[in-house]
Chain A
Amino acid sequence: MLKCTINGKEVEVKEGTSIIEAFREHSEDIAHYCWHPGLSVAGVCRLCMVEIEGNPRLQIACNTPVTDGMVVTNQSEMVKDAVKWGLDFHLINHPLDCPICDQAGECGLQDQYMKFGQYDSEMGQAKVKKKKVVDLGEKIVLDTERCILCSRCVRFTEEVSKTNELGIFNRGDHSEIGTYAGKPLNNDYAVNTVDICPVGALTSKDFRFRQRVWFLKDKPSVCTGCSTGCSVDVYYNKEGMWRVKPRHSEVNGYWMCDEGREIYKSTNVMTTDFVGERGSAKAVKKENRLTQAIHINAGDKNYKTATESLNSLKEKLDSYSKAALVVTGQYTSEEYDALLGFWKSQFGTDNVYHWANNEAQFNDFDGLLIRGDKNPNTKGLLQALEKHGITAKKDVTSLSDQDLVVVAGPENQWVYDDIHVIAKALASNKKVIWMSACHVDAAEQAGGHFHFIPTKTFAEKSGTFVNFDGREQSFEAVDLFVDQALSLTEAVALLKGESVELSETNKVISVSNEFVHERGQL
């Protein structure tokens, strides 16, 4: 450990810590743009200037390691002047289009100007004009005028995604970020560049112009896109969920994949016509969110509330002699425990099926975050099965002539390629209870007797996911977006005839959109 003095505070830091890390560790404000904890040091924004005792020149905190006994400050007049001018240099050619900029509210320039700047600009000359709308790829749009050339995105494609699509072209104040010819920014992690962009230069096509960020609240959760289980922040307001951003953790570092960012779409109910790229296989209509229980008997639809539906089922439970349970890896460990426990006592352990979909690809890994197992909690399911002494069967399609089949269906149904096959096969059974957060067109069209019960998505319930290497990650509910939705635990409790505290289910967000003052971190 090294002892040093930061802004008059005596602190201890680990060897090899840079000054900027020491400042942040001890919650001292320090201006910066180009430095990012997950990327290499570029040292180009020249904002993290500090004064080190015994050194007449200001040094940049990001590239200077702390030495023992170092006395360093960023409160001196010299530093304040350097930061003020550093900001002014950033801003002289930056268009002040904050009112129409998507980054406004979570913009590094705005935040740092309010913290360290607050001066009148002396720039009276015409600003440099550059291209305003540059299409970088399927997911990202660039505004070269807003760009402050911090090179974070370039370093990201170099060091993290290792795809090298981006570069800085030209020199001086006509420098621009751009993609190399014929190499659009379409890698699997591309939207991370939008997250790390400190200004509104890179914006996500999925999110831009949809919401003002100061009307969005955020809560931590865990990504359900695959078995990696990245830590995420879910951004939402009363109109639904709007985006998912990575939250720093040991599991995922600072990043998440673009596929994972789609998970919020299974929950959005109100505002988008389509979720996912229009016309692509992943597109899901907004009506696809299941909002109430539907019973389909020979083509007739019959709507009930989920509670009513389960209550009527409860009365007939004992009359089913042949029953089977089909589970997917998309629910929490707590839900599995409740469901399997109930099933064991009611129907025994023989007829439990694990619907795994693409099991051959479960061990695929792209080397960074994306795994072939597209379920967040396969490990948790296997643990629960073991706990209850159940050996699950795999061939779901062989199920026929059952009196009752209960399916805990997938929440992200677009990753289940075989959903049509399974739904068709199950239609030959006398009664199918399909629990799922989404409509399953395949099942609705399969004929037979399907009963759909809406379940909660990951954002609406709390619980635990066990990721690929056995790490248990608990998360809290973000909010409730569909008042009929039940978790499996609640559904089981209803079937058992227990009284369920459905307070959460009645609390669909209906408050007005509040102004959020603090938004994100640079």
Chain B
Amino acid sequence: MEVKLLTEHYSDDNYRTLEGYKAKGGYEDLAKAFKMKPEDIISEVKASGLRGRGGAGFPTGVKWGFLPNNGETRYLLCNADEGEPCTFKDRMMMERAPHQLIEGMIISAFAVNSPKSYIYIRGEYVYATRVIEKALKEAYDAGLLGKNIMGSGFDHDMDVYVGAGAYICGEETGMISSLEGKKGQPKLKPPFPAVQGYLKKPTIVNNVETLAAVKYIIRDGAEAYKKHGTEKSTGTKLFSVAGDVNKPGNYEVPLGYPMIDLINNECGGMKNGKKLKAAIPGGTSAPILNAEEVERATLDYECLAEMGSMLGSGSIVIMDETRCMVDMLKVIAHFYHHESCGQCTPCREGTGWLHKLVSGVVNGTAQVSDIDLLCEVANKMKGRTICALSDAAALPVLGIVPKFRDEFQFFIEQGYSKVQGRANA
């Protein structure tokens, strides 16, 4: 069943204005937060077990705790560069409830004592950018941003920065490079952003959903928030469901919710009554699950990790029996080939190589031995680069190829798709 915590008022068109937002109790949690001590907010977030919603799932409170106490200016960055294919939750959150994000960010900024924050929005999200910009203006006019917010003595400025549409700028250090006006390329770690990030100052980077969730942890308290979800994966999460289901869209469910229930109940079952073949649980970089695994999977960090996949950004791609996995992998490989920043050699050359190998299968130039080569190349790209893009490119290969090897073999030997037949080959 859906638990509408963040998305409670999303159906209300007025919710995106300051007036409509305040009517539903908006900015009351900010007032509550200002009465707390910053360190108490951090410990509350730690206690809630909130984990980063952008993909890596790192505990938010712990991340905040990494900030050094050296008196340097701290920056809070909101990562709204939602680039993972098939993810569209942040977009909805920004378009439907900009003030929810802004409030969450002010609370977070107050907690980590940051005077300045930026919302880094993906370049394609033109409408979301406009909504956020309008909301920021409203917030400034109402004294919710700027000097001495709500008489608390806390000053905070917030700005929007629009990216240029590179996937890699969703990686936190890539985003920082881009924000600094440089080419969007991840930075070498260490130093980590919490120590030396934006403009070499301590920086916290959080996802839109993470920052918005902070508001609800303050509203209800850590204990109440923890009641949702499982022991290690607490709270609710938005899942963007795409693909062959009757009702694709964003659904907020508690973590630990069975995946098959999400498909059958919330999403209205498989489209045209077709059979489920496979699903990608966390964006294209997560290894694929076959139908049998989908039946068993629950939507939380632990279960999916155990199954060799990951929760990632929470974008679920459902594929029915008519989908050709060779085709699917070709699309994915092309994406990562196109998006590799080109900095680290294994990723720069490897993503292109994977793409060429999979294209070879479709074009009829591949040999059967290329299937093993495909897996080997992917294996050698994994874990050897600055950021996780190389892994993101390798993991779908390592997920799809072994599970659907017969389709690859058939394609190479027969020259057309096993699933779709000769006409589509």
A-to-B contact residues, CB < 8 Å? 41-47, 49, 57-58, 63, 81-82, 85-86, 89-90, 92-93, 122-126, 128, 148-149, 167-168, 170-175
Q: How far is the CB of A31 from chain B (nearest CB, A)?
A: 12
B402 CB → nearest A CB, Å: 19
Tell me whether B341 and A171 are in contact (CB under 8 A). yes
**When A82-B384, A86-B384, A89-B350 are in contact, do A41 and B342 touch as well, CB less than 8 Å?**
no
**CB < 8 Å: which of B188, B346, B385 contacts A85?**
B346
5 contacting pairs across A/B (C-beta < 8 A): A44-B386, A89-B380, A123-B353, A171-B166, A173-B342
Given the contacts A86-B346, A89-B345, A149-B342, A46 and B353 also touching, CB distance less than 8 Å: no
- Contact in complex: B380, A172 (CB < 8 Å): no
The 6 closest A-B pairs by CB, nearest first: A175-B342, A173-B352, A172-B340, A85-B380, A125-B356, A89-B349
Are A92 and B349 within 8 A (Cβ)? yes
Give the Cβ gap from B412 to chain A, nearest Cβ, in Å: 13
- The answer on a CB contact under 8 Å between B188 and A89 is no
Of listed B338, B345, B356, residue having the most chain A CB within 10 A: B345
Residues of B within 8 A of A (CB): 166, 168, 183, 188, 190, 337-346, 348-353, 356-357, 360, 370, 373, 376, 380, 383-386
Could you say which of A42, A124, A167, A173 contacts B340, with CB atoms under 8 Å apart?
A173
Classify the secondary structure of B's interface with A. Answer: helix
Q: Which residues of A contact B386 (CB under 8 A)?
A: 43-44
Assess the A171–B352 pair: CB atoms within 8 A. Answer: no
Chain A residue numbers with a CB within 8 Å of B190 are: 63
Please, which residue of chain B has its CB at the minimum distance from the CB of A123? B353
Asked if B349 contacts A90 (CB within 8 A), the reply is yes
Smallest CB gap from A94: residue in B: B349
A170 partner residues in chain B, CB cutoff 8 A: 342
A45→B344 CA distance, assembly (Å): 6
Minimum CB–CB distance for B347 against chain A, Å: 8
Q: Which residue of A lies closest to B342 (CB)?
A: A175
Which residues from chain A contact B342 at a C-beta distance below 8 Å?
A: 149, 168, 170-175
Q: In the complex, what's the smallest C-beta–C-beta distance from B185 to chain A, in angstroms?
A: 9
Smallest CB-CB separation from A91: which chain B residue?
B349
CA A109 to CA B78, docked complex, whole Å: 42
Shortest CB-to-CB span from B274 to chain A, Å, is 35
Report which residue of A63, A81, A90, A172 has the largest number of chain B beta carbons within 10 angstroms of its beta carbon.
A172
Docked complex Cα distance between A81 and B383 (Å): 13
Distance, CA A356 to CA B320, complexed state (A): 87
A51 to B351, CA, bound (A): 25
Q: In the bound complex, how far is the Cα of B344 from the Cα of A79, in angstroms?
A: 17
Give the distance in Å from the alpha carbon of A99 to the alpha carbon of B345 in the complex: 24
B345 and A90 contact, CB distance less than 8 A: yes
Contact between A46 and B337, CB atoms less than 8 A apart: no
Which residues does chain B contribute within 8 Å of A85, judged by CB atoms? Answer: 346, 380
User: Are the CB atoms of A122 and B373 closer together than 8 Å?
Assistant: yes
Question: Hey, which chain B residues are within 8 Å of A46, CB to CB?
Answer: 344-346, 384-385
